[in-house]
Amino acid sequence: MDAMEEIKQVFFQECEEQLFELEAGLLTIERGDFDPETINAVFRAVHSIKGGAGAFNLTDLVHFAHVFENTMDLVRVGKLEPSPGLIKLMLRAADILADLVRAARDDDTSDPGPREAMAAELKTWTPGAIPPPQAAAPPPVAVAPKEASRNNDDGFVFVPTKVDLNDFEDLSLAPTTHFRVIFRPKAELYAKGNETTILFRELGRLGPMHVACDISELPPLEDMLPEGAYLSWTVHLETSEEEDKIKAIFDFVEWDSTLEIEVTDGMRADDAKEEPFVFKPTMVDLSLLETIVPDPIDGAEASVIEPLASAAKPPQAAPAPAKAEKPSGDDHAPAEKKDAAAATIRVDLERVDRLIDLVGELVINQAMLTERVAELGLARMSAVSIGLDELEQLTREIQDSVMAIRAQPVKSVFQRMPRLVREVALQTGKNVRLVTEGEGTEVDKTVIERLSDPLTHMIRNAIDHGLEKPDVRRAAGKPEEGLLKVAALHRSGRIVIEISDDGAGINRSRVRSIAVEKGLIAADAKLSDEDIDNLIFLPGFSTAAVVSDISGRGVGMDVVKRSIQALGGRISILSRPGLGSTFTMSLPLTLAVLDGMVVSVAGQTLVIPLTAVVEILLPQATTVHNFGGNARVMGVRSEFIPLIDVGQVLQFRQEDIDPKSGVALLVEAEGGVRNALLVDAIQGQRQVVIKSLETNYGHVPGIAAATILGDGRVALILDVDAIVVDSRNDIASSLPLAG
C-alpha cells in the first residue's frame, strides 16, 4: 500500500513536469513555431499523463486527457491547423488538466463543470473523430417524443423513461464496425518483455476476429538476428467498440511498434483468401553455423576471438532494420534525445538542511578558533595562522556550495504565471502578453515557496488595476495587447524581482483623494509623487472603483508588503502616468542567514534585522520628552515618535536609562508604523545564521529567533513588530494609572 503511494507520488511529480512541458510547448506553438518536435512533445505530455492516470484508475483524469489527446492528435497529423484560437483553447485545457492532476493528488473532487464544458469544446474540433456509439445512439431518444405526441392524440399518456445510453453498448445494439489492424512490433517491443499473444487475446475480447501473420519480412536463417523483429500481423476485428478501445490495448507498446487501424466495409475478399501457413524450407549454409558455434577442439584463444567478433557484429547491425521499419508517420519514438537533461538526483530536503546546519556550525567553530588563536598573539605569518586562513577560505567555499544546493531557479514560481495571466485576462476582458526574464535566477527554496503568494497578488493587481481595457488602450494610441513583464535578477547579493506593465500608471490624484477619504492622510498633507505612490501600501487602501473578485478582496498591497518584509525584503514602486508602473521587490537569497545590526542592551547582545532599521539617531536631551506615564517620545524632524527602551520591554532591566547614553534606531514595523528603539550601543553589522528557538524551547515574546556569535554564545534576534506591539500594550495599560 505504501509502496503504491510512493509510486503515485512519483507519478504526480512527473505529472508536474509533463504539465510544464505541455504548457511550455503550447506557448512555443502560440508564438508561431510549428516545429513537429514541439507538437509531439505536447502530445506526449498529455499522453503520458493519461497513461499514468490509467494505471492509478484516475478516471476523470483519463477521460479528460483522452479528449484532449484526440484533438491534439489531429494537429499532430496535420488534419487540424493550430490556429491561435485553438492554441488558446488548448492552453485553457492544459490548465484544467493541471487542476485535475492536483485534485487527484489531493484526493479532491473537482467541479466537473469547467472540465465537461472544455471537453465538449475540444470535441467540436474533432469532427467525426468520435465515432459510432455516442453519435449513433441519439436517434432512439429523438424518436421518442414523436411517438409520444402521436400517442397523446389517442388519449394515451406517455410516461417518459430515462434511457441510459451506456446500456446500449452492453446490449450490443450499437452497430458493429469492421476494423483492420496492422500491427508491426519492433525489436524494442520484445526487448522490453512484451508479449504479442497477450495483446491479441485482449483484442479478441472486443469481438470476433481473424488474425493473419505476415512472415514476408522473415530473412533467411543466416541473416536472422536472434533479437530482431520480423513478424507483423493483420487483424480483422468486428466490434461494437470504438477505435479508441483498440488503441488502448496497444497503449503500452505504442512507441515500440507501428500500428495502423482502419475501418473497413467488412473482410476484404483478398484478405480472406489468406494463404495457409506453409512451411518453406530455407537453405542454410552449414558453414555459417560453424562460425557461430565456437570450435570446441581448437581451444586456442585466437579462434575464440574470431567467433566472438562475428557474434559481436549483429548488435551493430541491429539498429538498421529497426530504422528501416520506421514508416514516415512515426512520431511515437520517444525522441532519442542525446542532449538529455543534466544529470540530477532527488535528495530528501531534510538531509540537505542537516548538511546546511552542520556547515553553519563549521563556520561558527572556525570563527571561534580564529578568535582563540588571535588571543594567543601568534605572529601573522606563523604556520598556524596561515593554516587558519586556508581553513577560513575553505569553510566559506563549503558554505556557498551548500547554500547553492538549496538554491533553485525561480522558474518554478514563474511557470505558474502564464496560467494566472490567462485567467485574470479572461476575467477582466483584457489582452495581456506576459514576458518573463531571468527564470534561471536562483534563490533559496524557502524564499521561492513564500514568493509565490505576493507575486500572484501583484500580477493580479497589475492586470486588474494597471493595464487598461483594449478600447482604452487603442484610444491612448497603444497596442491593444498590454505588456506585463516579470523579471528576476541578482543584484548585490540579493534577488530582485521586477513586475512592470505598460498600463496607465498610478492615478495619483485618485490615490490621494481615496487616502484622504479613508482618513489615511490629512487633506492638506504635502506629499511627493513617490509618497503618494507608496500610499497604496497602507493597510485598508483599495483603489479599485469596483471591488472586483480578482484583486479587490480587501487584502491589498499592504499584505504584499508585509509578506515581503517578513522575508526580509523591501518593495518599491516606480510609476509614470500613461506609461505604466514597475514594482521592484528585493529579497535576501536565503532565509538561513540574515543581515543584522548587532547591539548591546543591558549587558546582553541582541541582533536587530537590518531590513527593519530605517535610520540611526543619537538622542539629545532636547529631543526626548516624557509622555504620559512612563512613555517617552522622540522628536524626529518635526514628528514625535514613540521611544521604546528595548532593555525594559525585554525585562533585562527595570529602571530607565538616560536616553543620551544610548543610541536610538528608527525602525519601521507593521503597517509602516515608525518607532525608535533605544539600545545601549551598536556593536556592528553582521550576517548571522538564523537558529530556531522553537526547536528546543518554545516561542519567546519579542524574539524572532536566535543566532550564534563568533564567541560561541547565543544572541537573540529581535522581533521588531512584536516589540512595537508589546510596548504599545504596555503604554495602553499604563495610561489608566497615569490618569
Partner 1 sequence: MEMHAKPETTKPRELISFIIGKQEFCVDIMSVREIRGWSPATPLPHSPAFVRGVINLRGAVLSIVDLASRLGLPTSEPSARHVIIVAQVGSQIAGLLVDAVTGILTVTAETVRPTPDVASEMARSFVKGVLAIDNRMITLITLDHVLPSQEQEAA
Shortest Cβ 351–partner 1 spacing (Å) = 16
Span of 41-49, 230-238, 545-553, 699-707 interacting with partner 1 by CB under 8 A: 699-707
Give me the least distance between CB of 399 and partner 1, in Å please: 13
Q: Cell numbers 405526441 label which residue?
A: 149
Cβ partners under 8 Å of residue 564, min gap 6: 454, 570, 571, 585, 587
CB distance 446 to 530 below 8 Å: no
Tell me the three cell numbers of residue 653.
Answer: 532591566
Letters for 359-388 (x = contact with partner 1 by CB under 8 A, - = none) are -xx--x------------------------
The single residue among 140, 713, 732, 735 that binds partner 1, judged by CB under 8 A, is: 713
Does 354 help bind partner 1 (rule: CB under 8 A)? Answer: no
Site for partner 1 in 594-633 (CB under 8 A): 604-605
- Residue 413 or 649 having the CB closest to partner 1: 649
- In the block, residue with C-alpha cell 489582452: 431
| Beta carbons of 45 and 18 less than 8 angstroms apart | yes
Strand-strand pairing, 714-718 and 604-609: parallel
| Sole binder of partner 1 in the list 567, 613, 708, 720 (CB under 8 A) | 708
Helical pair 112-124 and 59-76, crossing angle rounded to 10 deg: 20
Q: Does 695 bind partner 1 (CB under 8 A)?
A: yes
Q: Which is nearer to partner 1, 483 or 703 (CB)?
A: 703
- The residue among 416 and 691 lying less far from partner 1, judged by its C-beta, is 691
Q: How many residues bind partner 1 (CB under 8 A)?
A: 30
- Pick the piece of the chain touching partner 1 (CB under 8 A) from 46-54, 88-96, 662-670, 700-708: 700-708
Binding mask 556-595 toward partner 1 (x if CB under 8 A, else -) reads ----------------------------------------
Q: How far is the CB of 704 from partner 1 (least distance, A)?
A: 12
506 binds partner 1 (CB under 8 A): no
Pick 296 or 698: Cβ nearer partner 1: 698
Q: In the numeric block, which cell numbers belong to residue 497?
A: 524581482
Is residue 714 close enough to count as binding partner 1 by CB under 8 A? yes
647 contact partners, CB below 8 Å, separation of at least 6: 601, 602, 653, 657, 678, 679, 680
**Contacts for 359 with CB less than 8 Å, ≥ 6 apart:** 395, 398, 399, 402
User: How far from the centroid of its chain's Cα atoms is residue 655's Cα?
Assistant: 54
Residue in 697, 736, 737, 739 binding partner 1, rule: CB under 8 A: 697
Rg (alpha carbons) of the chain, rounded to whole number:
37
The span from the CA of 261 to the CA of 271, in Å, is: 15
- Residue number, 532 or 705, with CB nearest to partner 1: 705
447 close to 588: Cβ distance less than 8 angstroms: yes
**Smallest gap, in angstroms, from Cβ of residue 73 to partner 1?**
54
CB of 521 to partner 1, least distance (A): 36
Q: Is 691 in the site for partner 1 (CB under 8 A)?
A: yes
Tell me: does residue 696 bind partner 1 (CB under 8 A).
Answer: yes
423: which 3 cell numbers? 485567467
Write the burial class of residue 397 (CB in 10 Å: 0-12 exposed, 13-18 middle, 19+ buried).
exposed
Residue appearing with cell numbers 499514468: 52
Residue 698 engages partner 1 in binding (rule: CB under 8 A): yes
The rounded distance, in Å, linking the Cα atoms of 590 and 574 is 26
Sign of torsion, CA 92 97 100 105?
A: negative
List binders of partner 1 among 38-97 (CB under 8 A). Answer: none
Among the listed ranges 256-264, 498-506, 514-522, 696-704, the one in contact with partner 1 (CB under 8 A) is 696-704
Gap between the Cα atoms of 474 and 478, Å rounded: 5
Closest CB to partner 1 among 591 and 633?
591
Interface positions with partner 1 (CB under 8 A): 357-358, 360-361, 364, 604-605, 649-652, 691-693, 695-703, 706, 708, 712-716
